[in-house]
Structure 1
């Protein structure tokens, strides 16, 4: 754990020493209640009368208490009774939220910050601006573990860091309205982590193929042409969604497959070990029992053979319909090039270890992040693919006893885990929920990214112990974030609808203190490629390339992006 994290969680309360040089007085405490306090600003110090300026909302100030120095965030400023002319004196008020205490050395240097208040301010206690050294102590970092992502809004000269272990082990969320820079923040954060941790294991689900320029040679790009998720890796719920779909009357087909799939798996194992294919004709015994969910290879040709055998034993033609539908569906999927990553292999081999190695970078081989391009995946099975990837990540961590920590970055998370129970694919929600609730035990973390937090399942978002929220203009989304960050400084949430692009509020265990930050800037050649709507530029140029449409149609028909 980082030094700053240790300081935050320290339980021992040593006697604090007042700082000998608390300069830049701005006012005094005139009211205090619980975690709030009210400051009457000095008209000569807190106003714009001299070279001092009134404290801004969201900035940190410090209060000289009877036994030390308390820190507070300015939550509001006001003039209760405005004067009619500038010459008249006015009472200026600042409201504070108390967040912690600073401990100073005997020579006046801040040496430790602790969350929580042990000695509350009293009436007439002096209030001062927080100096640079104070901010450096409060937002300090451990260079061995922590990662820089930007600067403090209050003082751009102070870097903003995240505490790596606290950030990743307890899940995080990146929220913000479309166009505020979420994708840039994701790329910035991951690049910073990968620069420090070159043996990481990160899986990024990219629904729009926008992250490919961000990571260069450090990423393993897995698109529709290189993705391998064979059908036999699917569990039974996922397979039913692909082969049967969401038809109202699917019970018959489901029961047929529930009986046939284990037989096909047994037949494959028998043939691979040199046994007779006659295994197709019998049910597996105790020694070779497999379930419909066991990730064992089997041949679709064996499934069709079993369907044909069963149909040959039926007397009534009307009973053949579900078998024929299954055969037709399997044949259609096998012939559809869009499904080649799942059904396109001419031969069936047990290459599960190779698939896991490619997806989760084992070994890393200089590429600690996998970019899964989901833009070419048929929309009707997109949820199934996400379900498989999340389930495999959890099972890999489980059966490796946590020896391979994995972070899954889930863009547009509201699509896969919607708040509305009637929407989405239940196994996908179940896989994400399992990681959210149990992943920290085995080293699997989630990074949820969404522009619609109010549409994301609250049970999953509530497990994210660190939240970065960029500008949110929708009141419903703002209310949802307020509820999810109930223990954070409420005053900072007032900035949600007004922050600029590239700014965010950071809450939770991955940062030392709730803060408003300005993210660092990505190099131009590392920016995500999303956003092709330059109408004003492109509508001034004609497309005079005769081969443009020919190439477009070729890529369209062959499902090739390049």
Structure 2
């Protein structure tokens, strides 16, 4: 490798007939006057005389550069020459001398660039792509992780990528972008495993039910495997975690109703008038709305004297409705607004949202555990707005009181992690409760030690204010042009790197971080735990079909021989044996399939139909 063409104090070209260059590779240039200079490859090409080279910024290898290659001994006529466009990591005092040799560095020469934190104080996320060429590593950086190969997990040989999570105090929030099958969810799992290993509290919203960490990944060596079962808690909305209605504030109730469907100003005013925080239960609040609606439907009845014919429960109900109407009717008198509030409120009750409290989640975070909140996407969007606000302000209030020398109830710093982030904080003019609190955390959470990790297949659909606050981005394979354009605007990846995004292999990510100062290609390590949904769906199809077929075959054998003319009469009995209804056509199709496989014989009885018997 040698310096060719025109060089500057910041950029040089390198040429080699044998070595293939790759983007983000670090090389050492040995200038006789300037000494050792380190640079990173930002463009890599293979050329010959007939293929002129153009770089992103318009730099062209003209005839003079080709001539210099020839003078330096490169045979452009017969051989391919590899060219690298290199940016020096430290500005040189003078332009680099043409012809200066270059080489792959040893680990000690670039350790300060590749490793910014020790393994015990950082998150081991994978291997820096191409770093295995640096040779033997010191013991403290060896045998720390596995990579997934076709044969299974194999011990990594390159330099580990160690993410300094402590740097997030200055460079907050993480975005994880990638299309389906790119390794995005796998990378999110690895990140969560590392946070659990460091006992950093995390609140995870899991719309797909993937974030379970109890099942070990097969093939991980014992010396690096970890057990996370006591480091996390999985909670289902409505079963283990929810909202205690008596603890709601008026703004929180308004936010919950708004999460079901946007509410008008008149609806919000009605809630503020009717709801008594700390006094109302979900039952009493609902009854207030129903009573007021009943009174508005027949105001004459409740404005005049109490009818003499009322007695017992009927009289008791009338007096209750009258009391509510007299107390609130002058302030809340819009019938349609009340109907809208009642519909939203009953929707919340139907989701069993008020059956539990957040206490178990709060306690787990105080114990420095990861709390996984499970539920379908629509329910998570409703619940997350409440839970995020409650926990974020618990932390914020503690820090604010401490800042002014006061003592408050302790709540720890924590991470907020979610997949499908564009559903929680969508781009657009319409405001949503979840986006509002996520935007606030994105802008101010760093001061309070609350950090976002947002994963999405569609970064172009994520709220732009939030995207701009993500100091670190993990970029996996991305296909859509709009998403690639968003990524280019928000990171420092080059045009060549962006062009590779649709073709990145699964599990390889470009990690672009203000903390690092450059983009690093990383092979995400093998996870220590297994997702509950790693089974190939086609294997599942074969397995389930096989089990069902075996059960049907065993059942039909009890009714042999089976004649088509009498099969309809047998259907109820066959259904009882199977525990489900079964049709004539389903049984005939199955019997014909078994005939093809040589299990049954089909006998034609002419006008009397067919008969199926076991093949001898």
Superposition TM-score, scaled by structure 2 size: 0.64
User: In structure 2, what is the equivalent of residue 279 of structure 1?
Assistant: none
Distance 1:144 1:240 in 2: 45
Aligned with 1:535 (options 509, 527, 538)? 538
Distance 2:419 2:479 in 1: 20
The answer to whether the 8 Å contact 1:136/1:158 transfers is no
Partner SS for 1:408? strand
User: In structure 2, what is the equivalent of residue 474 of structure 1?
Assistant: 480
User: In structure 2, what is the equivalent of residue 410 of structure 1?
Assistant: 418
1:473-521 deviations in Å (ceiling 9; x for gaps): 22211111111013x5554434322211111111113547421111111
Distance 1:79 1:317 in 2: 78
Partner SS for 2:125? strand
Partner SS for 1:459? helix
Distance 1:187 1:244 in 2: 32
Distance 1:82 1:453 in 2: 40
The answer to whether the 8 Å contact 1:67/1:119 transfers is yes
Distance 1:391 1:75 in 2: 45
Partner SS for 2:130? coil
Counterparts of 1:79-478 in structure 2, within 5 Å, are 79-82=47-50, 88-89=77-78, 92=81, 94-101=83-90, 117-119=91-93, 121-124=95-98, 126-133=100-107, 134-140=109-115, 141-156=117-132, 157-167=158-168, 170-195=172-197, 197-198=198-199, 200-213=200-213, 215-224=228-237, 225-231=239-245, 236=250, 239-240=253-254, 242-243=256-257, 250-261=264-275, 264-265=276-277, 268=279, 300-301=283-284, 304-305=287-288, 307=292, 308=321, 309-312=323-326, 319-320=334-335, 322-323=337-338, 326-327=341-342, 330=345, 333-334=348-349, 336=350, 339-340=351-352, 342-344=353-355, 354=359, 357-358=362-363, 361-364=365-368, 368-375=369-376, 379=378, 381-401=379-399, 404-422=412-430, 426-478=432-484
TM-superposed deviation, 1:63? 2.2
The answer to whether the 8 Å contact 2:210/2:533 transfers is yes
Structure 1 residues 76 and 385: alpha-carbon distance in aligned structure 2, compared to 1, 3 A threshold: same
Cα RMSD after superposing both structures: 3.5
Q: Which consecutive unaligned segments of at least 5 residues does structure 1 have?
A: 1-25, 102-116, 269-296, 346-350, 551-562
The answer to whether the 8 Å contact 1:167/1:509 transfers is no
The answer to whether the 8 Å contact 1:29/1:127 transfers is no
State which structure, 1 or 2, has the greater radius of gyration over its C-alpha atoms. Answer: 2
TM-superposed deviation, 1:75? 1.1
The answer to whether the 8 Å contact 1:184/1:527 transfers is no
User: In structure 1, what is the equivalent of residue 17 of structure 2?
Assistant: 47
The answer to whether the 8 Å contact 2:374/2:380 transfers is no
Distance 1:427 1:61 in 2: 49
Partner SS for 2:399? coil
Aligned with 1:78 (options 31, 46, 52)? 46
Partner SS for 2:470? coil
1:113-156 deviations in Å (ceiling 9; x for gaps): xxxx3536424152412223234342123244222211121123
Distance 2:95 2:531 in 1: 48
The answer to whether the 8 Å contact 1:58/1:492 transfers is no
Structure 1 residues 54 and 443: alpha-carbon distance in aligned structure 2, compared to 1, 3 A threshold: same
Distance 2:346 2:80 in 1: 80
Partner SS for 1:361? helix
TM-superposed deviation, 1:163? 1.3
1:400-452 deviations in Å (ceiling 9; x for gaps): 21862110112110111112224xx5221111111111110010000010111
Partner SS for 1:31? coil
1:237-260 deviations in Å (ceiling 9; x for gaps): 653464477768844332211112
The answer to whether the 8 Å contact 1:63/1:70 transfers is yes
Q: How many residues align?
A: 444
Distance 1:248 1:389 in 2: 19
Counterparts of 1:482-561 in structure 2, within 5 Å, are 482-486=488-492, 488=493, 491-511=496-516, 513-523=518-528, 526-530=529-533, 534-535=537-538, 537-539=540-542, 541-542=545-546, 544=548
Distance 1:431 1:316 in 2: 30
Q: Which consecutive unaligned segments of at least 5 residues does structure 2 have?
A: 52-74, 133-157, 215-227, 293-320, 401-410, 552-576, 582-616
Distance 2:512 2:448 in 1: 24
Distance 1:250 1:36 in 2: 59
Superposition TM-score, scaled by structure 1 size: 0.70
1:41-87 deviations in Å (ceiling 9; x for gaps): 2xxxx213xxxx2323442222234434131214121315149xx99
